[in-house]
Amino acid sequence: MSRRRKARSRCASAALLVVAVCLLGIAPAAAPAASWSLLTTQNGSEAEHSDLYDIACEPFTTNTCVAVGSQTKGGTVSTYAQYWNGSSWVNQTAAVPAGATASELQSASCLTSTSCSSAGSYTTKSGTFSLIESWNGTSWSQQTSPNPEGATETKLRDVNCYSTTRCMAVGQSNAGGSWAVAIQGNSGSWNLSSSVPKPAGAISSELTGVFCNSTTSCVAVGVYNESASVYWAMAAIWNGTEWTLQTIPKATKKSILLDVSCSDASNCTAVGAYTNASNVQVTYAVRWNGSSWTQQTSQNPTGSTNSVLQNVSCDDRYSCVGVGDWINSGVWTPQAQRWNGASWSLDSVVVPAGSKFGLFEGVSCRIKCLTVGRYTNSEGKNKTLGETRETPSWTQRTIPAPGETSGVAGVDCFGSTSCLAVGISTSGLIGTARAYSGGVSWTETTVPTKPSGATYTELDNSSCVSETTCFAVGQYVNSKALPKPYALRREGTTWTLYDPLPLPAGVSEAWLTDISCTSSSSCTAVGYYRPEAGQIRTYIVSWNGSSWSLQTSPNVAGAPTNFLKGVSCTSATACTAVGYADPVTPFTYAPLVERWNGTSWSIESSSLPSGATSGKLNGVSCASSSDCFAVGGASSVAYAIRWKEGTWTTLNGPLPAVASLSNFEDVSCTASTTCFAVGTYDTTAHGKALAAAWDGSGWTVGYVPNPGSTTNSISGIDCLSSTSCRAVGSEDETNFALTYP
């Protein structure tokens, strides 16, 4: 979701912004870095002028976006919108309020391809009023929005939706003066929120940007005036009931904040402009850490005589992109700069040929960054402007997909191009185990002859100890329709089959789900077996370099079924296995954690997130023998637990705001401060791939390609470092693979 700002063309109509965006300034900066490229945008049909003020994209992808603004036809200004389908911009028909003599859309926020909201204002003979429009995937329609009692001018500057039914919009109204206003949306019904406090000494105020992390956590920014020529940036926090003003670092002279973007409630970046000691305007960026705001050193293009950041989009707590404009030899010119977690640096942007004026007003960064704005051509007409830039992110890779239905279940790597992915393909009712080697480009690897008498085979996970040595485990169905565990070892291009594997006395049915090897002579594989109807017990076997042996593993007392889904070993004497148990109460699962100390396995105590009544653990990764992370789902929400110095702690997983449920399937950690967890989340209509990064203090959801039209899920991941990961999964019943970055 993107935010918005104020357009330069409206300097004369917004008193608070006249000084803020119409001053002159100068400041040096570093040379431009990453490059943007032009996109072909549309313009209003038969319009003299077309302007785009904001862009909003569906979370975790830039395949579905909307851009909003205004168009001028025959001297009349009216609402305008465009739609981005992943490859091109297409004109949309925005709603024009009945009786409006002028209207515009200032901001947009999208949570799905069929759920977007936009905010702005429209003017009639009676005054200027708030405007909210909704996109349902087919058309834009006006929603009824409130105006403060007695107001004859209410303008909304920004809107942000934190679920498909809950939104917050902010702006300014002239009821009792010119003061900041906020309205809340709930399932299409909009109402005034509690009043925004007036800063001490203020004669007017306005909110220009807002970002919400939940129904009880919103951050809004803007400006207040102490006099006609003295103004200061302001910020306020919404706690679900009321707004509270925050302290913003005072710039040298005057300051304004135009937009804000948050990766979570404790990590927000706001941008705008301030007047420095030389009485010139320069860019302004401040950062919220959950308790206070601090000013950052933002950049200004060399030779600039005025510079402002209009809009900002943050991928995560370490990555933001700000856009705006600056005066270059007397001409307003677009600018973009990015925050890498430590500093801001300028990007290289494209200025359309013949441009006499140009600016970026909206930006949204997902798999890539998209920015929109406008420029004035040689004929003096305003035209829409759009550009794009690639960002470090997950990249989709081609992986073979034999059979009618194919799925990749697990992957393990020794090097960035030395990985083994395993899974299954099916044709009718026949399943065949599959293996693929690679990392960036993938090829199918011939799996040895299936176990004798097998009518169905599948591989669930792998573990590599060198570029040429990997192990894989899974199960097959024999001629008697009984599931049996088996293992494979790959040396170069040669495969060795291990079947049968040892089973407890009297047991004829078992499954292996995961394997972890610390050397070619030390592996542990986990799963479960069925001793009798209605009973499932944990199952663990180990490899010593010459043979497989059965290990005794415990089960939860009183639980009829116990499953082990994942295992991670840091040495032959330190392993952690995870799964879940199904107690007497049907479908109420309890997470299961077991630890190996070199002699025996024992059950560890673990907990569920607050409020959860059921949970499963699907994957585990240990960064060291004393630091492990396990992931899964609890009461339909992805979650993680961490084992540190003998204690397990629950770490709530990230749930995308639009998701009806989410689940982690696997995790890979390279250090105590570096983990990636993957899985899926649902939007009620579609399954989406989910990836989140742990940085030592919290999880941040990443942006992942979703190639499937209905179903996408990441089932396995292996990371070699914080900047090198490989993941595999399934989309619409076929394989897909990802690399990071």
- Domain membership flag for residue 549: yes
- pLDDT tens digits, one per residue of 67-116: 999 999 999 999 999 999 989 999 999 999 999 999 999 999 998 888 99
Question: Given this model, what pLDDT does residue 19 score?
Answer: 33
Could you tell me the pLDDT band of residue 15, with boundaries at 50, 70 and 90? very low
Phi, psi of 8 (to 5 degrees): -60, -30
Question: Given this model, what pLDDT does residue 684 score?
Answer: 65
- pLDDT tens digits, one per residue of 616-646: 999 999 999 999 999 999 988 899 999 987 8
The answer to whether residue 565 scores a pLDDT higher than 50 is: yes
Higher-confidence position of 17 and 339: 339
Q: How far is CA 25 from the centre of its chain?
A: 36
Residue 177's Cβ-count burial label (10 Å; 0-12, 13-18, 19+) is exposed
Q: Please identify which residue in the block is written with the tokens 């942007």.
A: 349
- Domain membership flag for residue 111: no
What letter does residue 18 receive in the DSSP assignment? H
Could you tell me the pLDDT band of residue 24, with boundaries at 50, 70 and 90? very low
Parent domain of 607: 395-406+470-740
C-alpha distances in angstroms, 108 versus 126, 239, 611? 26, 22, 33
381 and 320 in a common domain:
yes
**In angstroms, rounded to a whole number, what is the distance separating the alpha carbons of residues 221 and 237?**
9
Residue 352 sits in a domain whose CATH number is: 2.120.10
Asked whether the beta carbons of 568 and 605 are under 8 A apart, the reply is: no
Question: Given this model, what pLDDT does residue 657 score?
Answer: 60
Asked whether the beta carbons of 580 and 590 are under 8 A apart, the reply is: yes
CA-CA-CA-CA torsion for 63, 67, 72, 73, nearest 10 degrees? 40
Q: Which tokens belong to 205? A: 């105020």
402 and 361 in a common domain:
no
Residue type, 180: A
Count of structural domains, the chain? 2
SS3 call for 11: helix
Look at residues 348, 366, 390 and tell me which one is the last residue of a structural domain: 390
- pLDDT tens digits, one per residue of 183-229: 999 999 999 999 999 999 999 999 999 999 888 999 999 999 999 88
Collect all residues with Cβ–Cβ distance below 8 Å to 467 and sequence separation of at least 6: 414, 415, 418
Q: Which tokens belong to 540? A: 């663990």
Question: Given this model, what pLDDT does residue 60 score?
Answer: 62
The answer to whether residue 649 scores a pLDDT higher than 60 is: yes
Question: Given this model, what pLDDT does residue 11 score?
Answer: 33
DSSP assignment string, 363-425? EEESSEEEEEEEEE-TTS-EEEEEEEEE-S--EEE-----SSEEEEEEEEEEETTEEEEEEEE
Higher-confidence position of 599 and 659: 599
SS3 call for 576: strand
Share of the chain above pLDDT 90, in %: 74
Phi, psi of 331 (to 5 degrees): -120, 130
399 and 382 in a common domain:
no
Look at residues 359, 390, 421 and tell me which one is the last residue of a structural domain: 390
How many Cα atoms sit within 13 Å of 333 on the Cβ side? 20
Asked whether the beta carbons of 589 and 642 are under 8 A apart, the reply is: no
The answer to whether residue 687 scores a pLDDT higher than 70 is: yes
- pLDDT tens digits, one per residue of 499-510: 999 999 999 999
**In angstroms, rounded to a whole number, what is the distance separating the alpha carbons of residues 96 and 403?**
52
The answer to whether residue 709 scores a pLDDT higher than 80 is: no
- Domain membership flag for residue 583: yes
Could you tell me the pLDDT band of residue 656, with boundaries at 50, 70 and 90? low
Question: Given this model, what pLDDT does residue 180 score?
Answer: 98
Question: Given this model, what pLDDT does residue 611 score?
Answer: 87
- Domain membership flag for residue 87: no
Question: Which of these, 284, 274, 267, 220, lies nearest to 246 by C-alpha position?
Answer: 220
Look at residues 360, 390, 420 and tell me which one is the last residue of a structural domain: 390
The answer to whether residue 346 scores a pLDDT higher than 80 is: yes
- pLDDT tens digits, one per residue of 308-343: 999 999 977 778 999 999 998 899 999 999 998 889
Q: Please identify which residue in the block is written with the tokens 């944990």.
A: 538
Q: Please identify which residue in the block is written with the tokens 């490059």.
A: 35
Counted residue by residue, the chain has a size of: 741
Question: Given this model, what pLDDT does residue 728 score?
Answer: 96
Asked whether the beta carbons of 729 and 712 are under 8 A apart, the reply is: yes
168 and 270 in a common domain:
yes
Q: H/E element holding 19?
A: helix 15-22
The answer to whether residue 585 scores a pLDDT higher than 80 is: no
- pLDDT tens digits, one per residue of 117-147: 999 999 999 999 999 999 999 999 999 999 9
- Domain membership flag for residue 127: yes
Q: What HEC string does 219-288 produce?
A: EEEEEEECCCCCEEEEEEEECCCCEEEECCCCCCCCEEEEEEEEEECCEEEEEEEEECCCCCEEEEEEEE
Least confident range from 260-264, 409-413, 707-711: namely 707-711
399 and 366 in a common domain:
no
The answer to whether residue 654 scores a pLDDT higher than 70 is: no
CA angle 376, 378, 380 (to 5 degrees): 55
**519-546 as b/e, with b when 16 or more CB fall inside 10 Å?**
eeebbbbbbbbbbeeeebbbbbbbbeee
Q: Please identify which residue in the block is written with the tokens 């087919």.
A: 138
What is the helix, strand, coil percentage profile of the chain, to 5?
0, 60, 40
Least confident range from 4-8, 571-575, 605-609: namely 4-8
Query: What are 74-79's contacts with CB under 8 Å, separation 24+?
Result: 74/48, 75/48, 76/101, 76/102, 77/102, 77/103, 77/104, 78/102, 78/103, 78/104, 79/103, 79/104, 79/105, 79/120, 79/122, 79/131, 79/133, 79/140
- pLDDT tens digits, one per residue of 450-481: 899 999 999 999 999 999 999 999 999 999 99
- Domain membership flag for residue 510: yes
Q: Mean pLDDT for the chain?
A: 90
CA angle 393, 396, 400 (to 5 degrees): 155
The answer to whether residue 21 scores a pLDDT higher than 50 is: no
The answer to whether residue 518 scores a pLDDT higher than 60 is: yes
334 and 402 in a common domain:
no
- Domain membership flag for residue 509: yes
Give the mean pLDDT of 499-526.
Answer: 97
Residue 633 sits in a domain whose CATH number is: 2.130.10.10
400 and 302 in a common domain:
no
Collect all residues with Cβ–Cβ distance below 8 Å to 353 and sequence separation of at least 6: none
The answer to whether residue 588 scores a pLDDT higher than 70 is: yes
Least confident range from 163-167, 417-421, 433-437, 487-491: namely 163-167
374 and 273 in a common domain:
yes
503 and 374 in a common domain:
no
E-assigned strands of 125-230? 127-135, 140-143, 154-161, 166-173, 179-186, 189-192, 204-214, 217-225
Asked whether the beta carbons of 60 and 701 are under 8 A apart, the reply is: yes
400 and 344 in a common domain:
no
347 and 199 in a common domain:
yes
- Domain membership flag for residue 579: yes
**In angstroms, rounded to a whole number, what is the distance separating the alpha carbons of residues 142 and 78?**
13
401 and 341 in a common domain:
no
Q: H/E element holding 580?
A: strand 574-582
- pLDDT tens digits, one per residue of 264-288: 888 899 999 999 999 899 999 999 9
**Mode of pairing for the β-strands spanning 615-624 and 601-604:** unpaired
Asked whether the beta carbons of 512 and 475 are under 8 A apart, the reply is: yes
Question: Given this model, what pLDDT does residue 266 score?
Answer: 87
**In angstroms, rounded to a whole number, what is the distance separating the alpha carbons of residues 10 and 15?**
10
